[in-house]
Amino acid sequence: MRRPILIGITGGTGSGKSTVANEIYKSFSEDCIAIIEQDSYYKDQSHLTFEERTKTNYDHPNAFDTDLMIEHLKMLLNDQAIYKPIYDFKEHNRRKETVKVEPKDIIIIEGIMLLQDPKLRELLDIKIYVDTDDDVRIIRRILRDIRERGRTIESVVEQYLNVVKPMHTQFIEPTKKYADIIIPEGGQNKVAIDIMVSKIKQVLFENK
């Protein structure tokens, strides 16, 4: 059994991480690649009331169950399937259901805090930082949170200014130094994505 390739894609909120991950994903057959979102690993908050859960700082490293994510990645590396959590952003809590993820040759992990934890960082074979202008990121965040997460524009802007932006400066931006490659302008950078796909294919060929 050959070891799966773990590819970490990180960057600030709205930077285009998911777009880059999906573009890479589409370049391979579905039977050899999987995507795991770090957002799925927000901590279970069943012990808190809904009002208390809405006050959680979701842009802080402590919001994530990183230990569980590391455990799951190690299981996939050892050819074991995992049951990935599902996070409900409207309820601010995990659902009872999970999603089964089978081991694959390529596993993409996508999230804002991937390079913040040394133990998680060490598992990644290729580390990508998606670097996008702050103005573009906040616009994308507003559109996403209103359409997909039931938020108001006022709440999104307030959260961005009071929480998201300072947390980005403190915890996410500094992890850029750990990246193997920095992709400017996220999913719009087709050249960088094509280069990454070629590199992954090369690594796959070498691992045969």
Write the pLDDT tens digit of every residue in 118-138: 999 999 999 999 998 888 888
Report whether 14 belongs to an annotated binding site.
yes
* pLDDT tens figures, 58-115: 999 999 999 999 999 999 999 999 999 999 988 989 999 999 999 999 999 999 999 9
User: Is 12 known as a binding-site position?
Assistant: yes
What is the rounded end-to-end Cα distance, in angstroms, of the chain?
10
Q: Give residue 42's pLDDT band: very low, low, confident or very high (50, 70, 90).
A: very high
Confirm or deny that 18 is annotated as ligand binding: yes
- 66 in a known ligand binding site: no
Residue 13 near residue 168, CB atoms below 8 Å: yes
Q: Is 17 annotated as a binding residue?
A: yes
Give the other-Cβ count within 10 Å of 4's Cβ.
21
Average pLDDT of every residue of the chain:
91
- Residue 169 assigned ligand-binding role: no
Is the CB of residue 104 less than 8 Å from the CB of residue 4? yes
For 22-35, letters b (16+ CB in 10 Å) and e give ebbeebbeeeebbb
Q: How sure is the predictor about 1, in pLDDT bands with cuts at 50, 70 and 90?
A: low
- Is position 111 annotated in a ligand binding site? no
Q: Is 186 assigned to a binding site? A: no
Q: What is the pTM of this model?
A: 0.90
Domains of the chain plus CATH, in order, are 5-198 (3.40.50.300)
